[in-house]
């Protein structure tokens, strides 16, 4: 690092990139996460950072936002080199990160979340002082209006915990604007948004860009990246594979750059399911969420369920899992009527549920993979003194890791050390341990990279060949078309239509999804 040399460079304002990452290396115990990454970010440009889980994306973001120092290399912000940045220095330099969890304080008001951070950063983090509430409100109003939210006092006083997720997303962006950010990093901002909300977010991004703000956008959804436009940066194994205008790359090319292998959009589904009906759902109703839902699921069949966010698909999934049970209607498993009032009911009848929100609803993140795998069938591991048979637990976990190709050095590693796709496989593995009749997969590839998706799809197909009936609830249309036998379209809490997946084009399914007729 020759800081002296660089400091001679005249601080030209216009031509120089806002931020340069120069030869950055980062090692964690045993892992070389970044291997000499160099990037330049121009003002007013949108960049898409793409790569599989574990390629070094998150590490790069953390280094740029000052959460972690690089081992080697430096960051040059507006011509000034930094060997390392603190979080406050990054904020003061105008680098704002909208993390996937949004980093909003749920117990505080919208205004405070939007405007206090900039207040803190402009005063070097000093806490021993008062603040001007009128200035705070004015800053918040300006930033909120810039993202299209109301700036009035009523909305400003609302607590974050009372807001829906999409609005929180915009509040987090408003915070970046309030801090007069020059560089905004967004980590998978669209994962849980509806189409309309995504469109709005894209409009806000365009607005930011017009004001000369640089945006670094991290997403797994390639279609969105194309819709937004700008430059693409592909990372693989801690190295930059490509950088350039996104329109010059095809999706297949990008996938190949990310994974190093060629991916097709062929159907994974092959063969036919058995004729026996495993699950027969009749008049399934939970007032205000879904009503009169009826369908049959055959052994070894993969049944897709889709619909818009308010269609009741999520609620249906949770009802079948006994999490938020249906209030009327009946469910027959192998011809026998069963009650699904609690998650234990579902488990007892060998109905497995992999929730959409795996971090909060599914996994014990700080517990070993082994413990996560055995939780569903833990009672059958008891010996006669009620102790857990550790040898069998270990063997089972090792088997699951092997079966599902979970990439980990050992089953005693905590689940949070795994990438998203591997975490998802741990969850699926948990249910395989009870030898399920029915498996409900709710958004199994949300936030999962292309390579992991491929593995999860193959696992799904293998499971169906074992005769397990699978219900796949998803809003990823290619995923449904590639994997299912039939697809149910839900609208306003009812099953509006049923399609055969092999006789349907994506465009047709897309139009069916958006059409208002219910």
Partner 1 sequence: MNSRIQPRIDSSIDSPIDSSVDSSIKQTMSTPNVVEIAPSPEPRGLRMRLARNPEWFTVALIVVTCLIVGAINPRFFQFATLFDLLHSATTMSLFALGTLVVLASGGIDVSFTAIAALTMYGITKAVFAWWPDAPFALILITGALGGVVLGVVNGLLVHRLKAPSLIVTIGTQYLYRGLLLTFIGTTFFMNIPHSMDHFGRIPLFFYHTADGLRAVLPASVLALVAAALVTWWLLNRTMMGRGVYAMGGSLAIAERLGYNLRAIHLFVFGYTGMLAGIAGILHVSNNRLANPFDLVGSELDVIAAVILGGARITGGTGTVVGTLLGVVLVTLIKSVLILVGVPSTWQKVIIGAFILLAGTLFALQRKS
CA 175 to the chain's CA centroid: 21
User: Which of 391, 507, 516, 517 touches partner 1 by CB under 8 A?
Assistant: 507
Residues 355-394 contacting partner 1, CB under 8 A: none
- CA distances (Å), 376 to each of 196, 290, 343, 350, 371, in order? 38, 28, 10, 10, 10
User: Which of 64, 149, 487, 512 touches partner 1 by CB under 8 A?
Assistant: 149
Choice between 97 and 400, CB closer to partner 1: 97
Choice between 197 and 301, CB closer to partner 1: 197
Task: Give the nearest distance from C-beta 247 to partner 1 in angstroms.
Answer: 5
Residues 47-106 contacting partner 1, CB under 8 A: 67, 87-88, 91, 99, 101, 103-106
- The candidate with the shortest Cα–Cα distance to 220, out of 478, 473, 449, is 449
Tell whether residue 217 is a contact of partner 1 (CB under 8 A). no
Q: Which two tokens stand for residue 63?
A: 């280094």
Q: Which two tokens stand for residue 345?
A: 């009911």
Give the 3-state secondary structure of 142-174: HHHHHCCCCCCHHHHCCEHHHCCHHHHHHHHHH
Segment interacting with partner 1 (CB under 8 A) among 4-12, 126-134, 293-301, 487-495? 126-134
Choice between 38 and 265, CB closer to partner 1: 265
User: Which of 25, 251, 350, 458 touches partner 1 by CB under 8 A?
Assistant: 251
Segment interacting with partner 1 (CB under 8 A) among 290-298, 345-353, 385-393, 503-511? 503-511
Instruction: Give the DSSP H or E segment for 27.
Output: strand 19-28
Task: Give the nearest distance from C-beta 394 to partner 1 in angstroms.
Answer: 31
Q: How many amino acids of this chain bind partner 1 (CB under 8 A)?
A: 73
Choice between 112 and 356, CB closer to partner 1: 112
Task: Give the nearest distance from C-beta 131 to partner 1 in angstroms.
Answer: 6
Q: Which two tokens stand for residue 356?
A: 């959409």
Tell whether residue 211 is a contact of partner 1 (CB under 8 A). no
Segment interacting with partner 1 (CB under 8 A) among 53-61, 273-281, 475-483, 496-504? 475-483
Tell whether residue 221 is a contact of partner 1 (CB under 8 A). yes
| CA–CA separation, 60 and 150 (whole Å) | 34
Q: Which DSSP string corresponds to 197-215?
A: HHHHHHHHHHHHHHTT-EE
Residues 441-460 contacting partner 1, CB under 8 A: 450
Tell whether residue 479 is a contact of partner 1 (CB under 8 A). yes
- The candidate with the shortest Cα–Cα distance to 445, out of 427, 421, 428, is 421
Tell whether residue 108 is a contact of partner 1 (CB under 8 A). yes
| Residues 197, 200, 204: CA angle, nearest 5 degrees | 135
Choice between 420 and 436, CB closer to partner 1: 420
Residues 155-184 contacting partner 1, CB under 8 A: 162-164, 166-167, 170
Q: Which DSSP string corresponds to 339-382?
A: ---SHHHHHHTTEEEE-S-IIIII--TTSBHHHHHHGGGGGGGB
507: helix, coil or strand? helix
Task: Give the nearest distance from C-beta 201 to partner 1 in angstroms.
Answer: 9
* Distance in Å from the first CA to the final CA of the chain: 64
């Amino acid at each position: 690092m020759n800081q002296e040399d660089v400091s001679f460079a005249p601080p030209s304002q216009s031509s120089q990139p806002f931020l340069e990452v120069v030869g950055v290396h980062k090692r964690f115990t045993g892992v070389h996460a970044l291997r000499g990454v160099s990037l330049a970010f121009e003002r007013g440009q949108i960049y898409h950072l793409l790569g599989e889980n574990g390629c070094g994306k998150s590490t790069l973001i953390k280094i740029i936002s000052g959460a972690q120092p690089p081992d080697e290399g430096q960051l040059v912000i507006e011509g000034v080199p930094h060997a390392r940045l603190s979080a406050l220095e990054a904020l003061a330099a105008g680098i704002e990160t909208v993390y996937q969890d949004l980093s909003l304080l749920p117990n505080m008001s919208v205004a405070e979340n939007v405007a206090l951070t900039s207040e803190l950063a402009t005063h070097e983090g000093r806490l021993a002082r008062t603040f001007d509430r009128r200035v705070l409100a004015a800053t918040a109003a300006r930033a909120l209006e810039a993202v299209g939210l109301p700036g009035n006092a009523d909305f400003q006083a609302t607590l974050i915990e009372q807001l829906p997720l999409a609005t929180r997303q915009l509040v987090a962006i408003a915070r970046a604007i309030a801090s007069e950010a020059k560089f905004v990093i967004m980590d998978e901002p669209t994962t849980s948004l509806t189409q309309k909300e995504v469109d709005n977010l894209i409009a806000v991004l365009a607005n930011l860009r017009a004001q000369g703000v640089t945006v670094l956008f991290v997403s797994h959804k390639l279609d969105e990246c194309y819709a937004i436009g700008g430059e693409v940066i592909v990372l693989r194994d801690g190295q930059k594979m490509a950088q350039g205008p996104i329109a010059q790359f095809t999706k297949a090319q990008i996938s190949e750059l990310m994974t190093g292998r060629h991916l097709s959009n062929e159907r994974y589904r092959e063969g036919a399911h058995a004729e026996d009906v495993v699950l027969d759902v009749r008049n399934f109703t939970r007032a205000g969420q879904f009503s009169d839902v009826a369908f049959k699921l055959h052994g070894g069949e993969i049944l897709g369920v889709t619909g818009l966010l308010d269609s009741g698909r999520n609620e249906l999934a949770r009802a079948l899992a006994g999490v938020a049970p249906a209030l009327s209607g009946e469910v027959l498993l192998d011809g026998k009527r069963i009650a699904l009032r609690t998650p234990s009911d579902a488990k007892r009848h060998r109905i497995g549920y992999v929730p959409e929100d795996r971090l909060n609803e599914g996994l014990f993140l700080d517990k070993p993979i082994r413990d996560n795998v055995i939780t569903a069938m833990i009672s059958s591991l008891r010996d006669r003194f009620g102790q857990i048979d550790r040898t069998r637990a270990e063997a089972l976990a090792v088997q699951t890791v092997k079966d599902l190709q979970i990439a980990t050095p050992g089953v005693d590693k905590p689940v949070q050390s795994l990438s998203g796709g591997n975490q998802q496989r741990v969850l699926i593995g948990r249910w395989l341990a009870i030898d399920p009749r029915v498996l409900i997969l709710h958004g199994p590839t949300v936030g999962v990279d292309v390579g992991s998706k491929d593995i999860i799809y193959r696992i799904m197909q293998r499971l169906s060949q074992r005769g397990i009936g699978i219900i796949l609830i998803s809003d990823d249309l290619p995923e449904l078309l590639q994997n299912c036998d039939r697809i149910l379209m839900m609208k306003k809490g009812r099953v509006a239509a049923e399609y055969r997946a092999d006789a349907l084009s994506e465009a047709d399914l897309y139009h069916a999804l958006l059409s208002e007729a219910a």
